[in-house]
């Protein structure tokens, strides 16, 4: 319980990543493709991406609730989560810009806040 309390942010973010992978795995058309959208945007919710997200989310959750969450692991976790969530933020933002939407969709807003939260926690988080 000590490690869960210390690393609760990373545990929650790992679970969010795992759940995003589950959404992509269960709903193969989570990211639709509006007209004039690059083809690669349609591919980001296919099975390989979903499995990768679930593996990364499971790893982050597992490592953050154990005593093995060292500075080296924290650097790997931070880089991986920042890469994944920034990638999906850009994909969702591109989807909203190209699509016939007047305001950003909830997926863009949520992923933007997750990217911001990961950056803030990596900079100002509790030092070991």
Q: What is the mean pLDDT of each run of 10 residues along the chain (128 residues)?
A: 84 93 80 68 80 94 87 89 93 81 84 93 74
Which residue in 83, 99, 85, 107 sits closest to 38, CA to CA?
99
The pLDDT tens digits of the residues spanning 22-48 come to 988 887 666 666 666 677 777 777 888
Pair 92, 105: CB distance under 8 Å: yes
pLDDT of residue 34: 64
Q: What CA–CA distances, in Å, run from 93 to 6, 77, 86, 106?
A: 33, 24, 10, 10
Other C-beta atoms closer than 10 Å to the C-beta of 56 total 20
pTM of this structure: 0.84
Query: Which phi and psi angles does 100 have, rounded to 5°?
Result: -85, 55
């Amino acid at each position: 319980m000590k490690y869960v309390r210390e690393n609760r942010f990373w545990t929650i973010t790992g679970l969010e990543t795992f759940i995003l992978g589950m959404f992509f795995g269960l709903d193969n058309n989570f990211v639709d493709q509006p007209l004039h959208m690059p083809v690669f945007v349609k591919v980001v919710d296919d099975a390989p991406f979903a499995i990768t997200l679930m593996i990364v989310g499971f790893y982050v959750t597992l490592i953050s609730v154990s005593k093995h969450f060292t500075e080296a692991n924290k650097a790997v976790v931070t880089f991986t989560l920042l890469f994944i969530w920034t990638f999906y933020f850009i994909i969702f933002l591109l989807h909203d810009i190209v699509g016939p939407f007047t305001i950003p969709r909830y997926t863009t807003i949520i992923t933007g806040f997750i990217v911001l939260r990961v950056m803030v926690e990596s900079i100002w988080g509790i030092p070991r």
